[in-house]
Amino acid sequence: MEIIISDSPNDVAVKAADILQGYANRGATLGVATGSTPLATYEELIRRHTAGELSFAGCKMFALDEYVGLPIEHEQSYYSVIHNELSNHVDIDPQDVHIPNGLAEDLAAGCADYEQAIVDAGGIDVQLLGIGANGHVGFNEPSSSLSSLTRMKTLHPQTVADNARFFDSAENVPVHVVTQGLGTIQRAGQLLLLATGEQKAHAISQLVEGPLSAACPASILQIHPHATVIVDEAAASKLNNVDYYKFIQQHKPA
C-alpha cells in the first residue's frame, strides 16, 4: 500500500484529484463514493473541469452503495448525492452514471444486475473510498465476507448514528442498504481511500497496521496490488510508522 500523509484535508483532496484526473482524461471507469470525505475532491475535480483542465467525456461512473427504500429524488439518496455533488457538474453522459438500485422489487436480482453492469463496462479502473469510524468501506460493515459481491446489508448502529447528521433524526436513516461487496471492490484496478480527522485515526491504524480481518473491512486494501491511502495528519495520528511512510514519499523514485 502507498500511504500518503498530507498536511490538511484540502491537500488530501488535491492529491486525490491529481490521481483521478489522469483516469478521467482517458475516459476511464470510475468508482465513486458518498459521505463527507470525498466532497472536497469532487469540488476540486469540478473546478479543474470548469477551468478546462479535465474532461469526463467517455467516462463511466459506478457508485458504491445506496439506501434501500429511499426515493431517488430524496436529497440523501446516493443517486441524488452523486448527481448533485459531481456528475451534474461535469461532461459525463448521464447514461453512464450508475447507482445501485435500492428500490428494486427483487433486490437480489438488482444487485446481480449491478455486478454484471460493472463487468460489462470492463471493470472499475479506480475506486474511490471513504472509511467508516468502524472500518467499513462502502456499506460493508464489520463481519462482511471478504469476498462478498453487491448485496443488501443491514447498517451497524454506529453507522446509523454517524449518518443521522444527514437526516432529520437517526430514526429517518434507512437501516438497509445495497452495497458493492468487498470482493467487488477488490476487482477494481486501483483503490484510492481517503480519510481526514481524528475520528478516523483508529480505523486508519487498523486498516494500515492491523490484521487482515472482517473486523476491519477496509483491511482488504492490504491484499490489493494497487492501493493508495491518502490521509491528513489527524487521521494518521494513531499510526506507528508515520515517519517511515513519510520517508518513502520523500524518496519516491522519479
Residues that bind ligand PGA (CB under 6 A): 35-37, 130-132
- Could you tell me the smallest distance in angstroms from the CB atom of residue 141 to ligand PGA? 10
Query: Which residue do the cell numbers 520517508 mark?
Result: 247
Residue 127 CA: distances (Å) to CA of 21, 145, 197, 205? 13, 19, 21, 21
Distance in Å, CB of 36 to ligand PGA, minimum: 4
SS (H, E, C) 168-224: CCHHHCCCEEEECCHHHHHCCCEEEEEECCHHHHHHHHHHHHCCCECCEHHHHHHHC
**Which residue has its beta carbon closest to ligand PGA?**
35
- Closest to 193 in 3D by CA, of 138, 111, 139, 147: 138
Could you list the active site residues? 65, 134, 136, 141
Specify the residue, 96 or 185, whose C-beta has the smaller distance to ligand PGA: 185
The cell for 82 is 452523486
Q: Quick one: 39 or 112, whose CB is closer to ligand PGA?
A: 39
Minimum distance of ligand PGA from residue 136's CB (angstroms): 6
Q: Specify the residue, 78 or 96, whose C-beta has the smaller distance to ligand PGA.
A: 78
Please say which residue, 131 or 204, places its beta carbon nearer to ligand PGA. 131
How is residue 62 written as a grid cell? 459506478
Residue in 198, 211, 221 with CA at minimum distance from that of residue 9: 198
What count of residues does the chain have?
254
**Minimum CB separation from ligand PGA for residue 197, in Å?**
8
